[in-house]
Amino acid sequence: MSAPEAVIFDAYGTLFDVNAAMEAHARRLGDRWPRLSEEWRAKQLEYTWVRSLTGAAHHEDFWLCTRDALHYVFARHGIEDAALARDLMESYRRLPVYPEVPSTLAAIREQGIATAILSNGTPGMLEAAAEAAGITPLVDEILSVEEVGTFKPDPRVYRLATRQFGCPPDRLLFVSANAWDTQAAHAFNMRVARVNRTGAPDEYGLGAAGVAVLTDLSGLTDLLS
Residues with catalytic roles: 10
Phi and psi (nearest 5°) for 11?
A: -95, -65
Q: How far is CA 208 from CA 107, 112, 177, 212, 217, in A?
A: 29, 31, 18, 10, 21
Whole-angstrom distance, CA of residue 93 vs CA of residue 79: 21
Evaluate the omega torsion of the peptide bond into residue 153 and state whether it is cis, within 30 degrees of 0. yes
Cβ-based neighbour number of residue 201 at 10 Å: 7
Whole-angstrom distance, CA of residue 21 vs CA of residue 120: 18
Whole-angstrom distance, CA of residue 63 vs CA of residue 42: 15
